[in-house]
Structure 1
Amino acid sequence: MCMKEAVSRISTYSADTFGVCSSLYELGGMVVIHDPSGCNSTYATHDEPRWYDQDSLIFISGVTEMDAIMGNDDKFVHDVVSAARDFSPKFIVILCTPVPLMTGADMDALAAMIEEQTGILTMASTTNNMNLYDKGIAWAMGMLAERIVKDVPAPVPAGPMCCSWQPEFAACGAGASAKPLRVNVIGATPLDFSYNGSEKSMKRFLRRSGFSPCSVWAMGSPLEEIEMAGLADVNLVVSAGAVEGAKVMKKRFGMPYVVGVPIGPYMQEEIARGLRRAADTKEDIYVCADSRADCSEADTIIIGESVYSASLAAALGREGQAAKVYCLLNEWPGVLGKEDIFVSSEGDLRCRLAGWTGTVIADPLYGPVVPEKAHFVGLGHTAFSGRLYQKVIPNLIDDFESFVKKVNDFAALVHTV
């Protein structure tokens, strides 16, 4: 029997608070988790591979039982204001957890009080430590798009004095159209891409394909680059939660977006084509779903984050290895193919995997629920197993060929038996 809402054999995904922390880690802001204790140490020791290499202003409030029960919010405000005066962050985000949630703390009001006393942009998140990390990424990317990205000046209309014959000075006309399309990458965090240079590989892919990278949200780009993200022509969304940020950019700037991860030559070609088409037509394109081969008879299952897994499935399909995706995270419309499944729980997953004899690609901590007769290919996912497999998580944007060889070698072995 499959029990719902029970986890007994596998790990759990990172929480929404850590999705926010991971998204904002490098941007010079101050993030305060309003919680008694434990959250920050869990984030630092399990989910944040940058903790010992890069400084970041991530704190925990250390709220006591008495302060929580008596509603002593003044102490929290005082501590945040004091820290802000010491460190001068570029912005402040306060994160809700179960304790302030249960005691009814008005996080928006606390943020307003802190902003009034510091003069620093302060926002309260909608986290509760009960939702999954992709919800936190969605909030953070939406916040960056709404509150951090600056307005851009209106384009100069073409006229008789337009110097389109000088590309370096043109604001319109033939000179402007000759410039490479500018692209923001939205949704790159170590929770989904580890700390193995994937974000740098994305930039290299864009440059090789004739694009100009504007910013990466949020690895390797300072806040100043994200502030100017409104100057881009199109957004590349590389995780499901980040679609929310892309939608805000579409609303503010009319900027279309393309969803997919450039894994392998096929997906890189499809994404490059999609970026150009989106910039031309202003339509949003879900390459990770649209570029999939028929997987109705797939003998490979990929378990993981929806955009990454669907992109990997598309890349494998091009190599002759049809794959379908099982995702245990939140359901985001349009990301998965028709044969893919949003799985509700560990019990549901065990039922769906029962009797499977093909290949399963997933984080190694899914091993206990994979049938013995299946071929298990480990692919570490920081949001699921923390730092346990950090040193062996491949950068599939650059190293796809060696990974697909492991999958195809087993498929060839099976077909010869």
Structure 2
Amino acid sequence: MKKLWKYIPPCYSDVQGFQAILSTSDGLGIIDDPSGYKKVKPSFEVSTHDKKDKGHKKDHHKKGSRKDKENENVINSKIRNDDIINGTSEKVQSCVKKALSKRKPDFILLSLAPSSSMIGSDLGFEAQVIEKDYSIPSLALDIHGDKDYVYGMGQTLLAMGKLLLSKQETKENSINLIGCNPLDFSEQAYLEIKEFLSQSYSIVSVWGMKESTENLKKACQASLNVVVHSCGLALAKYMKEKFDIPYIVSVPYGKKQCQALLEQQTIDNQVINTEKVLIVCEQVLGNAIRNALSNKNCIVCSFYEMDKDLMNPGDKKLSGEDALVDLFHDDTITTIIADANQKVLCPNDKKWISLPNPALQSSANVTPYESFVNEKLDQWLGDRL
């Protein structure tokens, strides 16, 4: 019951994270599920903003609507009650055949959902059949609909890497931008991050936003991976182990962190202060805010995936609302930076700074911050503290 969300809107699930990443790709996603999985709401039109980038394919759609893009890239197997006994194999293969009659994707990824997961569908076998019958790289993901969207996006990017990457000659001073995604980043933030990094590096590929498969396959030419969101960590670690490409986890938010990123260094904040600032958000963003507030004692907590190597003492992955309430009532915490939907659990004596999280399934129309690139984060915090 600890994971029951009673007051805070739940976040998108891992299956919806799968949807979000596939909606930006030239691949095809199959969800083994009875009906159309609830569509995620990207923060901006992912299929059009990079048309002018060199190496990007033209948009496949005449109208280019987000709905058309989602319907084309992520579909479901439409399993029914009888499939509990007979299995979902026939429905999955029929779904793939119908999709391929319309277009040939560059790769196919398959995801379970709660219903098919309980049935015990073997999507690993289905992926092997698809790859053999259609000569399209295919892979089943370890996604069941029971984890958060950050995990789902991370597993999807990792699967894409396993299907598409091979050893290549390294180009010096070149990077892959890993983890920008259409749920947590506004269009302005994404474009400003690219612009900032382009001043010092040549960007080979972008993982998580609209990118051609052709560019993704060149990713092993990069000399460094820059991970700007937790969802990119699994892929970066895989590329380090498989292709010996180093990575740095840092988003260019705040002047201090931007300088450290360009110098490929980490920031060591040693603060002795009894008054704490609690930051509740995705881990990489939370660490950027902490680095911008280097004169304050900050702890970063999240309901989403957290990497132990990126945690400071006091940081924790939240197991549920009760854990958050306990932190909110900690007398040593004077300031809280979190999504406005969480304020209902907070005592009135705390200073509150709203940090929107558009991946919460709130009825409110929540949009992400426009951009924190470089000194914009410092200014944003300065205006509120």
Please say whether Structure 1 and Structure 2 have the same fold, judged by a TM-score greater than 0.5: yes
Identity over the aligned pairs, expressed in percent? 23
Q: 1:389 to 1:298 in 2, by over 3 A?
A: farther
1:256, CA displacement in angstroms? 0.6
2: CA distance, partners of 1:387 / 1:238: 28
User: Partner of 2:142: helix, strand, or coil?
Assistant: coil
Contact 1:14–1:47, Cα closer than 8 Å, also in 2: no
Contact 1:263–1:396, Cα closer than 8 Å, also in 2: yes
Asked if residue 313 in structure 1 is aligned to residue 290 in structure 2, the reply is yes
Aligned with residue 347 of structure 1, among 322, 333, 358 = 322
2: CA distance, partners of 1:395 / 1:72: 44
Asked if residue 358 in structure 1 is aligned to residue 334 in structure 2, the reply is yes
1:258, CA displacement in angstroms? 0.4
1:11-410 to 2 correspondences below 5 Å: 11-39=9-37, 42-44=38-40, 46=41, 49-50=44-45, 52-53=65-66, 55-56=69-70, 57-153=73-169, 181-193=173-185, 195-208=186-199, 210-274=200-264, 287=266, 290-294=267-271, 297-317=274-294, 320-354=295-329, 356=331, 358-385=334-361, 388-391=364-367, 393-397=369-373, 399-408=376-385
1:21, CA displacement in angstroms? 2.1
1:16, CA displacement in angstroms? 1.0
2: CA distance, partners of 1:337 / 1:15: 26
Q: CA RMSD in A?
A: 2.3
1: CA distance, partners of 2:361 / 2:245: 35
Contact 1:49–1:387, Cα closer than 8 Å, also in 2: no
1:298, CA displacement in angstroms? 4.2
User: Partner of 1:55: helix, strand, or coil?
Assistant: helix
Further displaced range: 48-57 or 365-374? 48-57
Q: 1:28 to 1:67 in 2, by over 3 A?
A: same
Give the AA of the match of 1:314. N
1: CA distance, partners of 2:127 / 2:43: 25
Q: 1:48 to 1:202 in 2, by over 3 A?
A: closer
CA deviation digits over 1:312-353, x for unaligned, max 9?
A: 111122xx4442212222332211212322222111110121
Would you tell me which structure has more helix in proportion to its own residues?
Answer: 1
2: CA distance, partners of 1:400 / 1:303: 16
1:222, CA displacement in angstroms? 2.0
1:228, CA displacement in angstroms? 0.2
CA deviation digits over 1:92-136, x for unaligned, max 9?
A: 111101111111111111111222222211111110000112221
Q: Partner of 1:7 in structure 2?
A: 5
Q: 1:260 to 1:71 in 2, by over 3 A?
A: same
Give the AA of the match of 1:75. K
Contact 2:43–2:367, Cα closer than 8 Å, also in 1: no
User: Partner of 2:263: helix, strand, or coil?
Assistant: helix
Gaps of 5+ in 2: 47-64
2: CA distance, partners of 1:74 / 1:227: 32
